[in-house]
A and B are shown apart, each in its own frame.
Chain A
Amino acid sequence: MKDKQAYQDEILNEVTERDYQFGFESNIETETFPKGLNEDIIRRISAVRDEPDWVLEFRLKAFRAWQKMTPPTWPHLKLPDINFQDLIYYARPKPRKKPNSLDEVDPEILDIYNRLGIPLEEQKALAGVAVDAVLDSVSVKTTFQEELRKQGIIFCPISDAIRDYPDLVRKYLGSVVPYSDNFYAALNSAVFTDGSFVFVPKGVHSPMELSSYFRINARGTGQFERTLVIVEEGGYVSYLEGCTAPQRDENQLHAAVVELIAHKDAEIKYSTVQNWYPGDKEGKGGIFNFVTKRGICLGDRSKISWTQVETGSAITWKYPSTILKGDDSVAEFYSVAVTNNYQQADTGTKMIHIGRNTRSTIISKGISAGHSQNTYRGQVHVKKSAVGARNYSVCDSLLMGDKCGAHTFPYIDIENRHATVEHEATTSKISDDQLFYLQQRGLDEESAVNMIVNGYAKEVLRQLPMEFAVEAQKLLEISLEGSVG
C-alpha cells in the first residue's frame, strides 16, 4: 500500500509541478516561449512553425475573440481558477531519457499494460522504449502510409497538412467549429500545435481502421490538439483517437478541437478512448480536459457516429456534436463516462437537425463511483426546416456507493411539428440482488461488479473497433477498482 502511495505522489508531482523550467535548460536545443499569451507569442508560434499568413491570421483573430471571452460557467463542475497568463503556450516536448528495455519501465505501468492485454511489442512503443529492429514500427508505419496513399487517402499531422495541402486545410479549418465558438475553442484556435489531418477522397473506403495506425504510433498527444477529418462523397473512414493505456502529461490543461466534415453519402466513425491522468484518490492533480468536438453531415445521406469511452481526466468538459444539414443524414452518439474518486465529468452531445428526415440517436451511459460527479448534458435541436426529423435518446446513470452524484440535463428544442423526439432516462444503483445472484454462481464481488458494469455499458462498447472493445472493457474494470465494498 505504501508503495502505491509513493507512486501516486510521484505522479502527482509529475503532473502538478509544471516542470516547464526544463525547457529553459541551456544545453537543450529548444524553442520554449515565456509564460503568458499575447499577439507576439502567437506570431512567434506561427513563425517557428513556418506557417503561411492565413494561418497566422486565423490564430490572431481567434486570440482577439478569446480575449473578450470568459470560461463558461454553466457546466456542473467545480472549476479551479486557471490563470491563463501563467501557462506556456509553446514548448518542444521535453526530451526524456528513453528506457532501454521494459525492465527499466515502472512496473506499475507494465502491470496495467498487461492487464489491458496490450501485446509486448506495443507495450515497448507505448512506454517509449527505444525500439530496435525487433518492433519495426517504422516499417509498419510506412506500410500503412503506402497503403493509404494508394487509395488517395491523406493522413498526416495537421502541421504537415498546412504545408502540403494548404487549400484543403484552409477550406475546412474552422468551418465546423469557428474560432469564436467558445472560450476553449478560441484558445485552441490561437495556439494549436498538434493534431491529425485526414482526407478521404470521393468513393474511397478507408481500407483500414485508422486506429490501428494510430495505436502503434501513439505518442504523447498535445495540449492543444487540432484534428480535421474530411470525407468526400461516398467515402468512409473509421478513426480512433486516444489509447486505453494510461496517459500521462505534464500539461494540466488540455483544450482540443475536432472538426468532422461528411459530404454526400459519406460516413465518419470517430471513436475516442480517453484515459488521461485523473488525479489521485484525494482528488489532487489530474488533467483538465476541455474539448470541442463537432461534425457536420454536410451532404445528403451522410453519417457521423461518435463513440467515446471516457475514464480519465480530473475534469472533463466535452460534447461531441453533429449538425445534420444534409437531407436524410444520420448522426449517432454513444458514450460511456466513468468517474471515480473526485473526478468530475460534464459530457454529452448536441444534435442539430436542419435537413429533412434527419435522424439522430443518443446512447449515454454514466457510471459514478467514489466522491465523483457525473453529468450528462445533451441538446436536441430540430430546426424548422427539419421536417420529418427523428431523435431517440437514452441516458442512463449508474451509481456505485452513496457519495457520488449523477445528473442529467437534457435540452430539447423543437421548431417544427413534423418531428419525433423520444427521451428516456434512468438512474440506478448496482443492486444487491444482482451482486448476490452472480456471487451465488461463484463469482467474487469484484468480478460480479465488473460483469454488471460491462453489461450496462455493452451497447456503447460494442460500437468500438473490435480490438479496442476488449481493452475498453478492462479499462472500465481498472477505473472502478476499489469502488465497491
Chain B
Amino acid sequence: MNKQKPLLEIKDLHAAIGDKEILKGVNLRIYPGEVHAVMGPNGTGKSTLAYVLTGREGYEVTRGEVWFNGKNLLEMSPDERALEGLFLSFQYPVEIPGVSMTNFMKAAIDAKRKYHGLEPIKPGEFLRMYREKQDMLGLPERIRNRAVNEGFSGGEKKRNEIFQLAMLEPLLAILDETDSGLDIDALRAVAEGVNRLRRPDNAFLVITHYQRLLNHIVPDYVHIMHDGRIVRSGDKNLALELEEKGYEELARQNA
C-alpha cells in the first residue's frame, strides 16, 4: 500500500543482555511519514528495542537484521546511526555538568553537517534557529541557557529532548516513554511539538505505556509488545481496545 521504500525495517530481531534474551524476534516496518506506537507493560522489551536500535553498549544482537534508510544499521556505531538520522528521546535524560546546551547543540549540528559534507553552521544562523525552536516548543526561560539537563525538572528534561529533536531534524525519532512523569500541560506541549515536526519524509516510533499520549500524537499504527515480540498490530483503535481490556487479555487472545 506504500510504494516508498521503508525507512526502518526490522527482521526477526533477537537481542540479549548477558545471558538473558529480551527481544525474541521483533518484526517491524516503518515508512516515511508514519507514526508508530509501541505499547506494552514494563519489562516486555520496549526500551531494549530503542537501545538496540540506537546501538547502546551492553545489548547483544543474537539474530536478525535492521535496515535503516537502506543501510545496515547494526553495523554502525551509535554516533553514525545518529548522523544517519536516528534520534532517541531518552526516558531518563542524563545531566552533563558544565556543558552548555548551545555548545552541545552546535557540536551536534556541526557533526551532522560534516558527515553530510557541509561546512559548520554559521553562528548567527545557529542562534536564530536555536531561539526559533525554543520559542516553538515554549521552552521555559530558566532552562534555555543552562548546562545540559543540569537542574532541570523531569518535565523540563523531556521538553529539552523534543527541543533537540527539533534542532537535529532526524529521519526517525524514537520517543521512549516521553510521557512518563509529565503533567497534562507538559504532555500537551511535548505532543504539540512533535506534531509540528511531522513531515512526509520523517517518521516517529512512540514507545509508551499508556494510551493518553496517543490522544495527542495520533499514531498510524499501534503495536503491542509482549515478552520480547510484537504480538498484535493495528490502527489507533487498538490502543483504545488495550486501554479497555488490559495487556493480559490482549496477550491471551493472541497466544
Contact = CB atoms under 8 A, between A and B. Distances in A.
24 contacts: A432-B57, A433-B94, A434-B96, A436-B57, A437-B93, A437-B96, A438-B96, A439-B82, A440-B54, A440-B79, A441-B111, A441-B168, A442-B82, A442-B168, A443-B79, A443-B108, A447-B111, A451-B99, A452-B99, A455-B99, A455-B147, A455-B148, A456-B97, A459-B98
A445 interface: yes
B77 interface: yes
B56 interface: yes
Contact of B96 (A439, A452, A457): A452
Given A447-B111, A451-B107, A454-B98, A439 B77 contact: yes
> What are the nearest 6 A-B pairs in CB distance?
A455-B98, A455-B99, A458-B98, A442-B82, A441-B108, A439-B78
Interface residues of B, number: 29
Given A436-B57, A454-B99, A456-B97, 11 more contacts: A431-B94, A436-B56, A440-B82, A441-B82, A441-B108, A441-B164, A442-B83, A443-B108, A444-B77, A447-B107, A451-B103
Interface in A413-436: 431-434, 436
Contacts of B111: 441-444, 447
Contact of B98 (A433, A438, A456): A456
A456 B148 CA distance: 12
B90 interface: yes
B24 interface: no
Interface in A228-246: none
B104 A442 contact: no
Main SS class of interface, A: helix
A439 B115 CA distance: 14
Contacts of B78: 436, 439-440
B88 interface: yes
User: Which of B107, B147, B168 has the most A CB atoms < 10 Å from its CB?
Assistant: B107
Interface in A281-326: none
Contacts of B58: 432
Contact of B104 (A431, A439, A451): A451
B112 interface: yes
Given A439-B78, A441-B164, A455 B108 contact: no
Interface string B42-84: 0000000000001011100000000000000000011100110
B90 A437 contact: yes
A437 B157 CA distance: 13
Contact of B88 (A434, A440, A444, A455): A440
B79 A437 contact: no
Contacts of A452: 96, 99
B166 to A, nearest CB: 13
Contact of A455 (B82, B83, B97): B97
A457 to B, nearest CB: 7
Interface of B: 54, 56-58, 77-79, 82-83, 87-88, 90, 93-94, 96-99, 103-104, 107-108, 111-112, 115, 147-148, 164, 168
Nearest to B103: A451
A437 B58 CA distance: 15
A57 to B, nearest CB: 50
Contacts of A442: 79, 82-83, 108, 111-112, 115, 168
Contacts of B168: 441-442
A433 B57 CA distance: 10
B63 to A, nearest CB: 23
Contacts of B112: 442
A35 B147 CA distance: 55
Given A441-B104, A443-B107, A434 B94 contact: yes
B79 A444 contact: yes
Contacts of B115: 442
A431 B97 CA distance: 12
A452 to B, nearest CB: 6
A445 B98 contact: no
A455 B90 CA distance: 21
Nearest to B85: A442
Nearest to B51: A436
A457 B147 CA distance: 13
Contact of A437 (B77, B94, B107): B94
A131 B83 CA distance: 46
Contacts of B103: 451
Contacts of A455: 96-99, 147-148
B120 to A, nearest CB: 13
Contacts of B104: 438, 441, 451
Contacts of A431: 94
B86 to A, nearest CB: 8
A353 to B, nearest CB: 29
A79 B57 CA distance: 40
Interface string A442-482: 11110110011011111100000000000000000000000
A437 B89 CA distance: 10
B168 to A, nearest CB: 7
B79 to A, nearest CB: 5
A39 B77 CA distance: 66
User: Which of B54, B56, B78, B99 has the most A CB atoms < 10 Å from its CB?
Assistant: B78
A401 to B, nearest CB: 15
Nearest to A365: B98
Contacts of A440: 54, 78-79, 82, 87-88, 90
Nearest to B99: A455
Nearest to B100: A455
Nearest to A441: B108
Nearest to A453: B98
Nearest to A437: B94
A55 to B, nearest CB: 46
Nearest to B107: A443
B54 to A, nearest CB: 6
A247 to B, nearest CB: 27
Contact of B79 (A433, A445, A451, A457): A445
A436 B57 CA distance: 8
A66 B82 CA distance: 62
A432 B103 CA distance: 20
Nearest to B98: A455
A438 B54 CA distance: 12
Nearest to B149: A437
B152 to A, nearest CB: 13
A457 B168 CA distance: 27
A451 B79 CA distance: 15
